[in-house]
Copies of this chain bind each other. A is one copy, B any other.
């Protein structure tokens, strides 16, 4: 039986700590279709968490990679024909092999064809989680990016919504978690959101409750960001320090620093 939002908020820090331990011991494979800006940083973030990234986009072989992976990330930040073709094949393979997948609809607020593509992906082959920012959510749903709208969207689509902002909201339409961790420097490093989506995919590989997986990923990253900011001189040093912090994050620290409300 699922827990209420309040129970879930109270249990989440412990669940996140257990999930991070599982990532480190089990090393889930995460195949990433992501933009070329984000590829290296995403791979390094996954490695720091204990996961094993792969990133090929070739139509000939992406099916084989997804079949051998534990989860799939689809980030549409570079929306070229090659990646669109790869996306179709990869999602078909994920569906066939029952691999969970995460959609990151980057910059759909800037381009109508990209927004149409994202909406079509969600309608036809539901991802477990869509992770996005407020402008992207508004472009996706046509409405404002508030908690009620996110819950309504999640109910209508059956997809967990993970909405990044000053606080992160995660909802499956019934339960709503608000994550207060993170640091403003996270918005000054390119691909930080993409990395959060990739961590969500890694957590989904080992946690069947998509709400828990998404919230755990965001709290891990947010706590790592807070730790990194304490020793960083700016976004350059921060971008490497957050990888160190995620790599070194221990369960007591993660639990003590988690700030999650229902």
Contacts and interface: CB of A to CB of B under 8 A. Distances in A.
A112 B242 contact: no
B79 A61 contact: yes
A116 to B, nearest CB: 11
A64 interface: yes
Interface residues of A, number: 54
Interface in A43-59: 43-44, 47-48, 53-58
Interface stretch (A142-150, A158-166, A188-196): A188-196
B37 A40 contact: yes
A80 interface: yes
A242 B239 CA distance: 13
Nearest to A50: B188
A48 B236 CA distance: 8
Sort A-B residue pairs by CB-CB distance and give the 3 closest, nearest first: A234-B244, A236-B243, A236-B240
Interface of A: 35-41, 43-44, 47-48, 53-58, 60-61, 64-65, 68, 77-82, 107, 110-114, 188-191, 232-237, 239-248
Given A44-B235, A233-B248, A240-B240, 13 more contacts: A35-B55, A36-B36, A40-B41, A47-B190, A55-B77, A56-B77, A56-B78, A56-B79, A58-B79, A64-B112, A80-B82, A236-B244, A237-B241
